[in-house]
Structure 1
Amino acid sequence: MTDYERPLSFGVSLDPAAQTWPRTLRLARTAEHRGLDLLAVQDHPYQPGHLDAWTLISHLSAFTDRISFLTDVADLQLRPPVMLAKAATSLSVLTGGRVRLGVGGGGIPDAIASMGGPARRGHDMVAFAEESLGLLRKALNGDAVRLHSPYHSIGGYQAGPVPPRPVELWLGAQKRRMLTLAGQQADGWISPLNIYVPPREVPARQRIIDEAAAGADRDPRTLRRVYNVIGVIGSHGGAPGLVGDVSRWVDTLTEWTVELGFDTFVLWPAADPEQQLARFADEVVPAVRESVAKIRGGR
């Protein structure tokens, strides 16, 4: 059993499709009104039907007051780390600290290349991501950034502005080298969807992160653990992921908290997003909070 005893957070993934952005705006405002913590936006700019993630998040931030935003995850190969940090800290200043920066090494090399990116793979991609995380950390902290390497040439940029609260840096990772990097450098791990990293495979990944964190003299309990959960609340034949009634969702997310170590769940609705968001926020989330609190309180 692995429960890091971190406070729970819940969010919803917003579809960046250009054709449905009015619905996306409604979902964002509904999620805030119903008390969720995060609005997550995927970053696949090579998709011609997708809005740019940062542009969409910036637009939505003007129509919300409390809820935070998460890039789930920003592609490091298409977003230079110093500029990415500038965007994140700028939006954090403008929104009063409502930004969580999720990043990834770039998982679709051919699509990245179609936009002019370098399409790194394997060890090359991991080494690039590792160097990028170090640069991001310095820039997010408002430090001076200077580095000349095969991957980056930065001549002494004085980073800023410094946001009202530190921008947390969460790494999307699935395989050993990137999971190790999450434990060594990131503030949290973002798992791919539950259909790509199923629950039975999570404990081994958590151990890799924990061992890497301990090896870097970091407390594994300080890292956030985010699970992207696709599914349907209710009956829906053929839907992927977690499908079942409210009680099944409550029992499952409780188990994934106290047994697998997740503390943050992002809903990816596989059916009617507005109806699913309402059920998730009103019925599932409060029951999971209560269930986890009872288990933790009874130890």
Structure 2
Amino acid sequence: MTDYGHDLLFGTFVTPAAQTPQHVLELAVTADRAGLDLVTFQDHPYQSTFLDTWTLLTYVAARTERVHVSGNVLSLPLRPPAVLARSAASLDVLTGGRLELGIGAGAFWDGIARMGGRRLTPAQAVVALREAITIIREVWDVEAGGAVSFEGRYYRLDGARRGPRPAHDIPIWVGAYKPAMLALTGAVADGWLPTMEYLPNGVDSLPELNARIDDAAQAAGREPAAVRRLVNFMKGRFSPSSHGLLDGPPSQWVEQLADLALTHGISAFILGGDDRTMTERYAAEVAPAVRELVAGERSRSGA
């Protein structure tokens, strides 16, 4: 049993469809009004049928009041880390601390290359991501004073100015599946953000993958709990009877998500589907009950 003790977060994963921009905005506003914690968007700058994710994050942040926004996850090869650091800090300042930073090493390399991005091998992409995380945090670290110089294999800064300082400590959440990326996540990231449907054995994959992150965190001198565990669910359905994970009545969803929190340490549950009614039911019938159940179990166990 692994419960890292984080507060629970509930959010949505909205498709940034360029053909239906008003629907995209309505889904984000619905999540905000319903009381969810997060609205997230995938980032594929080479996909012409998608809105640009950073532009969308900014627009959604301006049209909402309390919900936090994040890329899920931003494509690093097409978003230079020093510029990304300034963009993230700026939006965080403008929203009063409502920006979270989900980032990935890159995928769909043909599309990245067509957009002018550098094609990397998986091993190279891991090194580049580690360098980028270092640069992003250095740019944010206004208190350190002086300029930022960095000589890496894939990124270089020569006296870049620091700032602006984010309004809150922006966590860096990494999308990761393979051993090297999981090790990087444990060593330097603030969160692990996979998609349940992409895990090789679904929920049964979590103990092994969590252990890889935990081992890497400890090897780096960190507590495993320093890394929040988040999960996207692309398939969810409210139905009268049980048909599997997040496919059944709300009471079943509550039990399953609470078990993921208490047994596997998952503390953020991000729901896809692009359905306004499902978003409202998720916020009203599932999220509060999961919080209550997990709080009760933690209280009984002394966590």
TM-score, length of structure 2 as denominator length: 0.93
SS at 2:233's partner residue?
strand
Gaps of 5+ in 2: none
Gaps of 5+ in 1: none
- In structure 1, distance between residues paired with 2:244 and 2:260: 18
Equivalent pair of 1:141/1:166 in contact (CA under 8 Å) = no
Which residue is 2:255 aligned to? 251
**TM superposition shift of 1:240:** 9.9
Which residue is 1:200 aligned to? 204
Deviation readout 1:184-212 (Å, 9 max, x if unpaired): 11111111x21111111011111111111
Which residue is 2:90 aligned to? 90
Given the alignment, which residue of 152, 173, 176 partners 1:173? 176
Q: Is the aligned partner of 1:159 residue 2:166?
A: no
Which residue is 1:108 aligned to? 108
Which amino acid in structure 2 is aligned with residue 289 of structure 1?
Answer: R
SS at 1:13's partner residue?
strand
Deviation readout 1:18-44 (Å, 9 max, x if unpaired): 111111211111111111111111101
Greater alpha carbon shift after TM alignment, 1-10 vs 272-281: 272-281
Which amino acid in structure 1 is aligned with residue 250 of structure 2?
Answer: V
SS at 1:11's partner residue?
strand
- In structure 2, distance between residues paired with 1:290 and 1:114: 48
SS at 1:19's partner residue?
coil
- In structure 2, distance between residues paired with 1:241 and 1:119: 36
Which amino acid in structure 2 is aligned with residue 281 of structure 1?
Answer: A
**TM superposition shift of 1:77:** 0.7
Which residue is 2:36 aligned to? 36
**TM superposition shift of 1:259:** 0.8
Which residue is 1:279 aligned to? 281
RMSD, matched Cα: 1.8
- In structure 1, distance between residues paired with 2:122 and 2:40: 27
Deviation readout 1:40-82 (Å, 9 max, x if unpaired): 1110111111011110010111111111111110111110100
Equivalent pair of 2:148/2:159 in contact (CA under 8 Å) = yes
Number of matched pairs: 295
The runs of 4+ residues in structure 1 deviating greater than 6 Å are none
SS at 1:93's partner residue?
helix
Equivalent pair of 1:70/1:102 in contact (CA under 8 Å) = yes
Matches within 5 A, 1:136-151: 136-142=136-142, 144-151=147-154
Matches within 5 A, 1:1-299: 1-142=1-142, 144-191=147-194, 193-197=195-199, 198-235=202-239, 242-269=246-273, 273-299=275-301
SS at 1:154's partner residue?
strand
Equivalent pair of 2:76/2:103 in contact (CA under 8 Å) = yes
- In structure 2, distance between residues paired with 1:297 and 1:110: 50
- In structure 2, distance between residues paired with 1:256 and 1:149: 38
Which amino acid in structure 2 is aligned with residue 127 of structure 1?
Answer: V
- In structure 1, distance between residues paired with 2:18 and 2:222: 41
**TM superposition shift of 1:241:** 6.4
Which amino acid in structure 1 is aligned with residue 155 of structure 2?
Answer: H
- In structure 1, distance between residues paired with 2:112 and 2:148: 26
- In structure 2, distance between residues paired with 1:174 and 1:234: 28
- In structure 2, distance between residues paired with 1:150 and 1:258: 40
Structure whose residues are more often strand by fraction = 1
Equivalent pair of 1:233/1:279 in contact (CA under 8 Å) = no
Identity over aligned pairs, percent: 40
SS at 2:31's partner residue?
helix
- In structure 1, distance between residues paired with 2:167 and 2:291: 28
Greater alpha carbon shift after TM alignment, 135-144 vs 35-44: 135-144
Which amino acid in structure 2 is aligned with residue 226 of structure 1?
Answer: L
SS at 1:65's partner residue?
coil
Equivalent pair of 1:195/1:241 in contact (CA under 8 Å) = no
Change (3 A) 1:63 1:177: same
**TM superposition shift of 1:242:** 3.3
- In structure 1, distance between residues paired with 2:81 and 2:7: 29
